Amino acid sequence: PMNFLRGQVQSEDGSVKVKIGDFHLLPSEEMVEPLRGYDGKFIFVGIRAENMETLASPVPDALAVTVEVVEPLGSQNLLTIRISEDVLKVSTHPDFKVHAHETVYIRFPPAKIRWMDRDTGRAIAPSLDKVLA
């Protein structure tokens, strides 16, 4: 499934990040300029359950989250987590051992994130010259 989070674009000292609760997402290089036009605005951030990386140990760019529910589905485990007020589903390998109420670390690969205008629902996309470069 696709997960949607609410975030606020923040542009400062030439960098762009999206604040989701207490966490900041950094966009891929090609998305910096398109997102800069949304400075101070709220957007939707989309990422599929299978595109988030789930780690047992902390790393610098990962977010610590508490697992609410673990659904073993055979070929995968489907975790339910919460980031700020948003509930997300995260797909993990069936060998990734985790139980409800335990902490895991989630990383969002920038190339897998989809950005959407909250008011129109339209995708925020890089310009074609950035994509073709």
Domain assignment of residue 21, given as a range: 2-132
- The more confident residue out of 15 and 132 is 15
Please report, for the domain that includes residue 126, its CATH number.
Answer: 2.40.50.140
CB 46 within 8 A of CB 4: yes
Domain total of the chain: 1
Check whether 130 has a pLDDT greater than 60.
Answer: no
The pTM for the full model equals 0.86
pLDDT classification of 128: cutoffs 50, 70, 90: low
Which residues are within 8 A (CB) of 22 and not within 5 positions of it... i.e. 6 or more apart?
84
